[in-house]
Amino acid sequence: MTLYSRITGTGSYLPPRRVTNDDLARELAGRGIETSDQWIIERTGIRARHFAAPEVTSSDLALHACRHALEASGHSARDVDLIIVATSTPDMVFPSSAAILQNKLGIAGCPAFDVQAVCSGFVYAITVADAMIRTGGAKCALVVGAEVFSRILDFNDRTTCVLFGDGAGAVVLEASDTPGILASDLHADGSHVGILCVPGNVSGGQVLGTPLLRMDGQAVFKLAVRVLEDAARATLAKAGKVDADIDWLIPHQANIRIMQGTAKKLKLPLDKLIVTVDEHGNTSAASIPLALDAAVRGGKIKKGDTLMLEGVGGGFTWGAVLLNL
């Protein structure tokens, strides 16, 4: 029998503290930096984001999202035999946030590891989990995107600090005799490292370089629109599908203009675009599963729908996954 994998449950979690553009503008004004709700909305589509409390880690957010996903799938943590966490803001240098999450779930023994592909992380992670399930390496996987990006923002740089938020999203991916994940397409180009990075590292008990995010927004925008279309079309071709077969496009929630631009290139009406960037901001690896869960629980996405997930992030990394829910 041919093995496939299907999503059987989704879950998400946002920290309680909601920060509006006006809240952020007041905070930045105290630093002598001018911005406004209108300026942020016009350039990004973002109205608010959530920030975690100082003591809350990525694995804490992931734990809540995983519990919701497990409940939706009808499973308990004891059924899980693989954990993959996509994150660029892990709890520690090591061990992985996935190992820490495994302990918080009260289980042990199954493989647990992190994937670091920044905003493409969830697409990378679900592709890896699908491959492991198809080859018999797992039957019930937790695939998670979890971030506390507020920890690495430079609040003296209004062009970046207004963009990001914290949160987590998770799916239960199970072995199935009917196709769920139909195709995927992953890429990276390390020559673009400098346009989006946190150029710091720990050495001898000190941080070398800067531990804060740096981004060339114009360069990222130009590259993102092109590679997202390419990845989506390559994924459709692998699955033997066409643009019109997509019921819902769930892109990485970075910027409303990038998202709408991609939808138009795929000839999809904008009402088929799942948008949460307005309320979540850019939550990096968490953004796709957060948007997926919001749309499922909101009744937009239903069982049997065909979804295109796609992300682009620092590295430079990008990719897409086509699936039937």
Catalytic residues: 119, 252, 282
CA distance 260 to 262: 5
What residue type is assigned to position 52 of the chain? A
* CA 164 distance to own-chain centroid: 12
Encode the chain in three state secondary structure: CCCEEEEEEEEEECCCEEEEHHHHHHHHHCCCCCCCHHHHHHHHCCCEEEECCCCCCHHHHHHHHHHHHHHHHCCCHHHCCEEEEECCCCCCCCCCHHHHHHHHCCCCCCCEEEECCHHHHHHHHHHHHHHHHHCCCCCEEEEEEEEEHHHHCCCCCHHHHCCECEEEEEEEEEEECCCCEEEEEEEECHHHHHHEECCEEEECCEEEECCCCEECHHHHHHHHHHHHHHHHHHHHHHHCCCHHHCCEEEECCCCHHHHHHHHHHCCCCHHHECCCHHHHCECHHHHHHHHHHHHHHCCCCCCCCEEEEEEEECCCEEEEEEEEC
* CA 233 distance to own-chain centroid: 20
Q: How many CB atoms lie within 10 A of CB 252?
A: 33
